[in-house]
Structures are given as C-alpha cells and as structure tokens.
Amino acid sequence: MKTFTKLSFYGKAIHFYRWFGGFFLKGTLIWMFFMTVSTVLIVSVPQFSINKVGFTISTFVPLAIAQTVVGITFLISLVVGAPVGVMIGLIALLEIPMEILLKKRVYKLVKERRKMSMDELVSETGVLENDLNYLLKNWIIKPGMDVDKVDIVEGTIKRGHLQIDLTAQELSWQE
C-alpha cells in the first residue's frame, strides 16, 4: 500500500469517520457494560437499591465503598450517556451525505475513463487507499443483496456497471 500525503476534504472526512467508528464502537461497548452492571446491581441486589425509599449507606466500609461506586457509575453513565449519544449520533449523520458525494464522484470518474487503477483513483479523490478499498467493497457488496458476479479465480467482483479487479487493483465500467 502506498501512503498518500495530501488528503482532500473527502479523504480527511472519510478517514476521520473510519477512526471515529472504531473508537465509538469500543466506547459504546464499555459504556453499555458499566450501565448494565450498575443497573442490574441496583435493581436486583437489595444492598445496592439506591432507588428505594429509605436506602442508607452500609456501615461496613467495603460495602459502603461498593455502594458509592455503583451509584456514581450508574448516575454518570445515565447522565453523561444520553447527551454524548445525541452528539455522536449527529456527528455520525454527517457521514452519510459525505459518503454519497464521494461515491458519486468515484462512479463518475470510473464511468468517464472506463478503466482506472486504484492509484489513479486515490490521487484523483484524495482518499487513502485503505479507506477507499473499504468503501468500494461496501458499495459493491451490500448485505442481503446478491452481487451480479464474483469470480474467485480471476479475483473480480461486479455489481451493476462497476467491476473491481482485486488482483490488478483496477476498477472498470462496463455497459
């Protein structure tokens, strides 16, 4: 893989969204874990039932520390989780038009030239090759939909008019 130093606006945005997606997934899993554990403890264990009337902190120090930690964890994940989730959702919604615009540009370039190497496409769009490979495969191979033709021997994937030759790293447009 060649590294491309000058990224276009599309390149910077797509690279950010790929990084953000990985970070967001890990953060969401960690948040869900803490939220689930603290909620289960509060709902099912009487010593942690901070939501009940008349709840008092235990005089046994280790249990009191555990009650405090569970209560604080629950409140933080509840109070912080909602606004952060809304912010992340809004940021993620901006990815959709960005990807659609890039997809139209890539399809237009390949349609005009009929055949393009991946290096040419990277230099024309200003998107990193890894990011572009990832996007192209997702644009062609959609979950739940059949691909017109996959040739494992030749290493080609075709859907509609666009064909990717994985061995030669070329894209072609076929009428």
Nearest alpha-carbon partner for 147 in 131, 164, 130: 164
Say if CB 71 and CB 50 are below 8 A apart.
Answer: yes
> What's the CA gap between 124 and 26, in Å, rounded?
33
Q: Are residues 167 and 91 in the same domain?
A: no
| Three-class SS state of 120 | helix
Last residue of a domain, one of 60, 95, 130: 95
Q: Are residues 76 and 123 in the same domain?
A: no
Q: Are residues 24 and 52 in the same domain?
A: yes
pLDDT digits (tens, 9 = 90+) for 27-75: 888 888 988 999 899 888 888 888 788 888 888 999 999 999 998 998 8
Domain that holds residue 144: 115-173
Question: In the chain, how many domains are there?
Answer: 2
Q: Residue 101 domain-assigned?
A: no
Q: Are residues 84 and 15 in the same domain?
A: yes
Exposed (0-12), middle (13-18) or buried (19+): which is 125, by Cβ within 10 Å? Answer: buried
pLDDT digits (tens, 9 = 90+) for 96-124: 888 888 889 888 998 999 988 888 888 88
Q: Residue 17 domain-assigned?
A: yes
